[in-house]
Amino acid sequence: MTTAAVLTVSDRSAAGTRTDTAGPIAVAALRDAGFECADAVIVPDGADSVEHALRALLSRGARLVVTTGGTGVAPRDATPDGTARVLNHELPGIAEELRRRGAATVPTALLGRGLAGVAGGALVVNLPGSVGAVEDGMPVILSVAQHVIAQLDGGDHA
């Protein structure tokens, strides 16, 4: 079974003052799709905390990592910045599609800075922290995740 992980990035959730509502939705979607996925890991906002958490999840064998939160333009929104530090290369089509689908219902989705790309042998995708963004975004991610992982393992373009 392929291992996936969810990283929730939120100062308030990390401090215990707000319940993480988006992370569990991503975890459930991954499990329903056949991935082995522990409960979401929660870290505070900031590029350093995101980078360190991603590196830890990848070192534990995650082949797909979905982050929620910290993708906007607020001063503490630094998830894409931390993610960029671990990516070998970006897959901009995934991030573009996530923004396109989000903007169809919430125009401010166009302000998202989320990234998607390859880190070693894994696919890493940033989602906004809202429940709606995760519900809309997980089908996009799941539609390509197994193909990306197969490609990273040397699979053909079938």
**1-21 tens-digit pLDDT:** 999 999 999 999 999 999 999
10-26 burial, b at 16+ Cβ within 10 Å, e below that, comes to bbebbeeeeebebbbbb
**What is the percent of the chain where pLDDT is above 70?**
99
The pTM of the whole model exceeds 0.95: yes
**Residues for the chain: how many in total?**
158
* Strands (DSSP E) found in 19-150: 36-37, 41-43, 64-68, 89-90, 116-119, 122-127
